[in-house]
């Protein structure tokens, strides 16, 4: 798709979303105390420096795609200004993890953005949680969010899955993730961050509809750089890596600059904005069957039968890197309870992984293929085994397909949702 066509499509989506969900103005905060000392505003840090990459006002206006309801964000800022502990978490794919940034630990947009918070609120203890995991979409994201994000009781969560979401169910998993975060005990502010690739590939259309519905601020790096292309002030070479997907160090600074420009605007106006109402959760637009999702790692699985699988540490880009591994063919059976079931397994490029059949409650369900020969690298993948009307216990068996030439298989985790 050409960039011109993609820009037109993106603008069309904006008007469709506004028509569907109405204006998202108005700000809410539960305690009505989102006020800060004027000195905090006067001394706030400048937005992250882009290192010479030109960013125009028009680009920033496009990138702050929809400010949404900033009540929770203002409350976080007020608490940071008063010296409270604040936890900022980021959940997404490899871009959030910092792939192609060098060094990624300190040059990724998440780290750079958090540094703005530390400089702006030096009296606060700002905790940083980067839960970006490469090659994972919002299905895996919503299942691991409780352990990788909510366990830290975040005050602010930035959500980035617009490049990795590619499957039909991702609209539901992304919306489920937003609802899970917004409804969680710490009541965090949530930001929907829209990223794109060199060719303009992303899942922005469904993501912005979900974010509009919940008045979640939408910060669109996609819209910003498309405006930059239109104005002929930037090119992909300025901001992206040679793979056409991941931002380079330059791209990460532009993303961080956009986020911190948005934060700066909220802080600048915080004392002149009324925050008077409780946040009210909108009705779901999808079934949101994954709103109460969780991940069961290998050491927690309820194994009832095992022939040939060994529990060991494996390569897996998850927060728990243990798995059940079979190298010479075999079978494993386990029990899991929920209204939804899925399996996360490993795909490898070594040509050794095979095809396994999956049975649920004694009936054939589907196959999983661990072979990713000639692929870009080892990764985890998943299948959804079923969604059910009621939460109940199910028996799942995974066994080597009789016709599979290769025999290796690694089961990393089980996904459940109540």
CATH number of the CATH domain containing 369: 2.60.120.260
Relative to beta strand 409-417, strand 331-347 is antiparallel
Cβ partners under 8 Å of residue 103, min gap 6: none
- Specify the pLDDT at position 283: 98
| DSSP 8-state class, residue 27 | -
What is the C-alpha to C-alpha distance for residues 90 and 249, in angstroms, rounded to an integer?
Answer: 18
Relative to beta strand 85-92, strand 156-160 is parallel
Strands (E), 21-141: 85-92, 125-132
CB atoms within 10 A of CB 126: 20
Residue 15, token pair as written in the block? 């008007």
Mean pLDDT per 10-residue segment, the chain (418 residues): 38 44 48 81 98 97 97 97 98 96 98 98 98 96 98 98 96 98 98 96 93 98 98 98 97 98 98 85 97 97 98 91 96 98 96 97 98 90 96 98 97 97
Asked if 260 and 300 sit in the same domain, the reply is no
Burial class of residue 253 (count of CB atoms within 10 Å of its CB; 0-12, 13-18, 19+): buried
Asked if 66 and 121 sit in the same domain, the reply is yes
What is the C-alpha to C-alpha distance for residues 155 and 87, in angstroms, rounded to an integer?
Answer: 5
- Specify the pLDDT at position 316: 83
Strands (E), 205-260: 218-220
Task: State how far Cα 283 lies from the chain centre.
Answer: 21
Beta bridge partners of 311: 324
Does residue 333 lie in a domain region? yes
Q: Is the dihedral of CA 328, 317, 175, 295 positive or negative?
A: positive
Asked if 71 and 179 sit in the same domain, the reply is yes
Helix or strand or coil: residue 28? strand
Asked if 227 and 312 sit in the same domain, the reply is no
Q: How many domains does the chain have?
A: 2
Asked if 70 and 21 sit in the same domain, the reply is yes
Q: How far is CA 215 from CA 22, 32, 73, 209, 282, in A?
A: 10, 18, 12, 10, 9
Helix-helix angle 249-268:109-120, to 10 degrees? 30
Asked if 191 and 259 sit in the same domain, the reply is yes
Residue 322, token pair as written in the block? 């243990």
Does residue 286 lie in a domain region? no
Helix or strand or coil: residue 46? coil
- Specify the pLDDT at position 377: 87
Does residue 282 lie in a domain region? no
| DSSP 8-state class, residue 299 | G
- Specify the pLDDT at position 376: 87
Asked if 254 and 321 sit in the same domain, the reply is no
Cβ partners under 8 Å of residue 229, min gap 6: 3, 235
- Specify the pLDDT at position 205: 92
Q: How far is CA 92 from CA 11, 204, 272, in A?
A: 24, 14, 33
The secondary structure of the chain in percent helix, strand, coil, rounded to multiples of 5, reads 35, 30, 40
Asked if 258 and 359 sit in the same domain, the reply is no
Asked if 23 and 99 sit in the same domain, the reply is yes
CATH number at residue 58: 3.40.50.1110
Does residue 303 lie in a domain region? yes
Does residue 277 lie in a domain region? no
Structural domain ending residue among the three candidates 238, 272, 306: 272
Domain hosting 175: range is 3-272
Does residue 285 lie in a domain region? no
Structural domain ending residue among the three candidates 272, 307, 341: 272
Does residue 375 lie in a domain region? yes
Does residue 81 lie in a domain region? yes
Asked if 315 and 265 sit in the same domain, the reply is no
Residue 103, token pair as written in the block? 């060094």
Asked if 264 and 336 sit in the same domain, the reply is no
Asked if 15 and 150 sit in the same domain, the reply is yes
Residue by residue, DSSP assigns 383-396 as EEEEEEEEEEEEEE
- Alpha-helical runs (H) found in 125-169: 138-148
Q: How far is CA 305 from CA 165, 247, 323, 359, in A?
A: 34, 45, 16, 13
Q: Which of 397, 408, 344 is nearest to 370 (CA)?
A: 408
Burial class of residue 388 (count of CB atoms within 10 Å of its CB; 0-12, 13-18, 19+): middle
């Amino acid at each position: 798709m050409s960039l011109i066509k993609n820009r037109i499509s993106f603008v069309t989506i904006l008007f469709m979303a506004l028509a569907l969900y109405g204006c998202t103005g108005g700000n809410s905060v539960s305690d009505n105390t989102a006020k800060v000392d004027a000195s905090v505003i006067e001394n706030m840090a400048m937005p992250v420096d882009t290192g010479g990459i030109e960013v125009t006002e028009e680009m920033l206006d496009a990138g702050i795609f929809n400010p949404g309801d900033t009540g929770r964000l203002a409350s976080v800022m007020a608490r940071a200004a008063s010296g409270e502990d604040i936890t900022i978490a980021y959940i997404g794919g490899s871009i959030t993890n910092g792939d192609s940034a060098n060094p990624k630990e300190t040059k990724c947009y998440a780290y750079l953005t958090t540094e703005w918070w530390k400089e702006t609120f030096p009296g606060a203890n700002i905790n940083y949680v980067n839960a970006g995991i490469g090659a994972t979409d919002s299905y895996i994201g919503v299942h691991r969010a409780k352990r990788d994000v909510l366990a830290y009781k975040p005050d602010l969560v930035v959500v980035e899955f617009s490049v990795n979401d590619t499957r039909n169910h991702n609209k539901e998993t992304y919306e489920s993730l937003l609802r899970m975060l917004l409804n969680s005990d710490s009541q965090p502010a949530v930001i929907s961050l829209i990223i794109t690739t060199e060719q303009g590939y992303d899942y922005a259309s469904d993501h912005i509809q979900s974010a509009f519905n919940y008045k979640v601020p939408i910060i669109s790096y996609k819209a910003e750089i498309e405006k930059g292309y239109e104005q002929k002030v930037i090119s992909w070479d300025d901001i992206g890596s040679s793979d056409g997907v991941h931002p380079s160090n330059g791209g990460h600074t532009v993303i961080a600059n956009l986020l911190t420009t948005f934060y700066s605007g909220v802080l600048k106006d915080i004392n002149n904005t009324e925050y008077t109402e409780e946040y009210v959760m909108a009705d779901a637009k999808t079934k949101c069957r994954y709103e109460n999702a969780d991940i069961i790692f290998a050491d927690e699985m309820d194994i009832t039968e095992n022939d040939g699988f060994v529990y060991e540490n494996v390569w897996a880009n998850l927060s728990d890197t243990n798995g059940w591994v079979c190298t010479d063919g075999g079978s494993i059976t386990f029990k899991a309870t929920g209204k939804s079931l899925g399996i996360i397994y490993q795909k490898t490029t070594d040509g050794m992984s095979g095809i396994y059949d999956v049975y649920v409650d004694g009936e054939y369900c589907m196959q999983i293929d661990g072979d990713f020969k000639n692929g870009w690298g080892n990764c985890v993948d998943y299948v959804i085994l079923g969604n059910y009307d009621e939460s109940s216990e199910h028996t799942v068996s995974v066994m080597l397909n009789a016709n599979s030439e290769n025999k290796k298989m690694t089961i990393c985790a089980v996904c459940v949702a109540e």
